[in-house]
Amino acid sequence: MENLSLLIFSVGYATLAWRRLDWAVMVILVVLPSYMIRFEILGVPFTVLETMILVAFTVWAIKNYKDVIEKIKLRVNSKFKIQNSKLIRYPFDWEIIALLIISWIAIAVAGFSDAALGVWKAYFFEPVLLFILLVNVFGDRRNTDDANHIRMTRIDFIIIALAIGAFWVSGLAILERLTGWNAVEAFWPRVTGPFLYPNALGLYLGPIVMLLIGWLFGQFRISNFEFRIKNLSFYFLLLTVFISILAIIFASSEGALAGILIALSILGLFLFINKRPKFKWLPLGTIMAVGGFVVFSSLFFLFVVPEHKYFNFSCPSLNYLSDKVMLKDISGEIRKQQWRETFEMMKGDYRWLFGTGLSGYQAAIKPYHQEGIFFNFSRDKDFRQQIVWGSEEYKAKHWQPVEIYMYPHNLVLNFWTELGLLGVILFVWLIARFFLISIQLISKRVMSYELWVMGVMGAMLVIIVHGLVDVPYFKNDLAIIFWVLLAMIGIIKLGIKEEKK
């Protein structure tokens, strides 16, 4: 029965993709959490999400194989003319090639294990396929005289599809909070929505919220009041932002909330200075500062922030906030312990160069793992003395077990352990180039897309900020969201290039 249902679904989806490939791709974006539905084909694990990506890409390749072959021939023969115009390069083309090579090396480091191949398939290969689909399907300028207009209109489709996904996911989370339906007892009253744990909800919704905020502000800038009254999609997205933030609050996903607030602050600064040419260096400077902090964040919290020392304010809320910011709460201390173990593990067997291979972190970290930490729950001034000389009762009261996680829970360390040194350098460069392109687009001050680009950039900022203490990439839906953001910036850049020809 399960195989029959899968066959019917696959045939139905393939039919949709053949008739309306743009709709089929939008369905993928609407149901990103469908990776939770898993099955096997000839012993190979798959998910519903993977099935849709592979089917949609196959349909696109079949319908456009002549065009693809022709473009490959032009590249090989160095003929860069198509209808008296230059052949436009794929956005992030060399980075994609480098990523596929480096990720395959990471599979080899992991011994070509089934787990490594599964990670490569779900987190690198298929997201890249969807990236290619998005650029070709929603970046197609044929049958129009206005390349940039059609691209921006089609980016609307991407945004609306992501918004529909965020709407139903947030709706499930709010329903869970109100009724207890589908609640995970281990996390209650934190909600999880369709996911297995609360942070997955924040990791998914955070970037989408910022993307929608940028779109909404863009509509305020370019649309008159009458248009907004008639445009139901405007109010739908406004409602989606509201319930998504509510769902993040119910999930107590502090990383997502912090990412949204920091992204809003930085984009507000951009809006302020974008009209002042003498401060044009400030956006790039701000991004470089944030990026530099992200790269070295684990070292900062481990070696710069004083250990076992607290800010003591008269206001408990300020104490709570300072502990969160300085990673002195229980979750922060667990993260720092993970990073200590990770750095120790990376010293041996050339792991600093090759990493642990895809899906190899848990096995590699095990010999270096500490079963738990002593945590100062009550902020005692003599805590360090007590855990050495105090009673066994005191030690037991302040002992916090620590499990072995799948990843180090830091953006840089996640990529470093999985892909090695070249992999983390590539992703740092990829994100840096994303921001450079975004800032160049914003500096052109074209009202039709300036704030939309800021929304896309804000979504990436949420990913980076949340990545300071979590894993915002190594999950099926999150890897796809990352590449969707790259595709959106690439589509806009292609439109600008073709306008200039």
Structure-model confidence comparison of residues 395 and 175, the more confident one: 175
What is the structure's pLDDT at 312? 83
Confidence category of residue 124, pLDDT binned at 50, 70, 90: very high
- Interior/surface letters 422-436, b for 16+ CB within 10 angstroms, e for the rest: bbbebbbebbeebbe
* Domain coordinates in residue numbering, the chain: 1-87, 372-400
DSSP H or E segment with residue 82: strand 81-82
CA distance 333 to 373: 8
Q: What are phi and psi of 483, to 5 degrees?
A: -75, -25
Pairing of strands 44-47, 38-41: antiparallel
Q: What is the pLDDT of residues 35-83, one digit of tens each?
A: 999 888 777 888 999 999 999 999 999 988 777 666 666 555 544 444 4
Q: How many CA atoms lie within 13 A of 52 on its CB side?
A: 28
Phi, psi of 7, rounded to the nearest 5 degrees:
-65, -45
Highest mean pLDDT among 287-301, 363-377, 430-444: 363-377
Contact 154, 138 (CB under 8 A): yes
CB 139 within 8 A of CB 92: no
Quick one: pLDDT at residue 445? 59
**CA 111 → CA 114, 121, 358, 435, distances in Å?**
9, 16, 9, 35
In this predicted structure, what is the pLDDT of residue 144? 44
| Report field, pTM of the whole predicted structure over 0.85 | yes
Residues 155, 151: Cα–Cα separation, whole Å: 6
Mean pLDDT along residues 336-351: 93
Confidence of residue 454 (pLDDT cuts 50, 70, 90): confident
Q: What is the mean pLDDT of residues 231-246?
A: 89
Q: Mean pLDDT score of the chain, rounded to an integer?
A: 86
Strand partners, 27: none
* Measured distance CA(416)–CA(408) in Å, rounded: 10
Looking at residue 309, what is its pLDDT?
A: 81
Q: Hey, which bits of 370-414 come out as E strands?
A: 372-374, 399-401
Give the model confidence (pLDDT) of 188-209 as tens digits. Answer: 999 999 999 999 999 999 999 9
Q: What tens digit of pLDDT does each residue of 204-229 get?
A: 999 999 999 988 887 665 555 445 55
Task: Return the residue matching tokens 């989408």.
Answer: 208
Radius of gyration of the CA atoms of the chain, in A? 24
The answer to whether 149 touches 155, Cβ cutoff 8 Å, is no
The pLDDT value given to residue 145 = 44
3-state secondary structure of 433: helix
CA dihedral over 171, 175, 177, 183, signed as positive or negative? negative
Distance CA 56, CA 3 (A): 20
* Alpha-carbon span 29 to 32, nearest angstrom: 6
pLDDT digits (tens, 9 = 90+) for 6-15: 888 889 999 9
Residue 189: cis peptide before it, omega within 30 degrees of 0: yes
Percent of the chain predicted with pLDDT > 90: 58
